[in-house]
Amino acid sequence: MILGDSDTGMISSSEPAAEETKGGSASAAAAASTQGPAQTAANKAMKRSLQLTARKIMIGFGGKLSNILIDEDVRKDGLLQTDKVSQIIKARNIQDLQVSELNNLISNMDHERYGFVVISNFMERLYDLAVETEYEVKLRRLAKTLSN
């Protein structure tokens, strides 16, 4: 279930993240067992970094990024060069968004290094990364309540 938060404009999901579910999925457990603890920690840190970057971008564009990317697709084939996507996001001058964070996100989205992204897939993955879990929403609200 997707929830909206009027306090921050963030979107959230009431489903727990895969690593929060009791026992996790079989494939996640198998992957974790073949990786060492350092690799697993690095993967979690990378995912957290991508989530924060995606959230900054989604907030910075206020839900208009998809339309902007579609408008920039001059051939109307649903593809956009990664350089162009990066240029569009940089032009927005999003507060606290570092160039290295954006480059990391773009390279993660184009992990095969084709040099382009499918706009609909890019937006879906960006949205999936930006979604807060129910746990994160509750934690943020608790912190806000305690600060008042």
59-99 residue pLDDT tens = 999 989 999 999 999 999 999 999 999 999 999 999 899 99
With beta carbons less than 8 A apart as the criterion, state whether 117 and 105 touch.
no
Question: What does pTM read for this prediction?
Answer: 0.69
pLDDT digits 0-9 by tens, 36-59: 888 888 888 899 999 999 999 999
Residue type, 93: N
Number of domains forming the structure of the chain: 1
| 31 found inside a domain | no
Structure-derived torsion over alpha carbons of residues 90, 99, 96, 1, reported in degrees to the nearest 10: 80
What is the domain range of residue 92? 2-15+37-147
With beta carbons less than 8 A apart as the criterion, state whether 15 and 133 touch.
yes
| 22 found inside a domain | no
| 67 found inside a domain | yes
Q: Band of the pLDDT at 33, cuts 50, 70, 90?
A: low
Q: DSSP states of 106-123 as a string?
A: HHHHTTT--SEEEHHHHH
| 21 found inside a domain | no
pLDDT greater than 80 at residue 10: no
| 84 found inside a domain | yes
| 30 found inside a domain | no
Q: Band of the pLDDT at 34, cuts 50, 70, 90?
A: low
DSSP-assigned letter for residue 11: E
What is the pLDDT at residue 15?
44
Mean confidence (pLDDT) of the chain: 81
Distances (CA, A) of 142 to 55, 57, 138: 20, 25, 6
What is the pLDDT at residue 23?
38
What is the pLDDT at residue 51?
94
| 24 found inside a domain | no
| 89 found inside a domain | yes
pLDDT greater than 70 at residue 120: yes
Q: Band of the pLDDT at 24, cuts 50, 70, 90?
A: very low
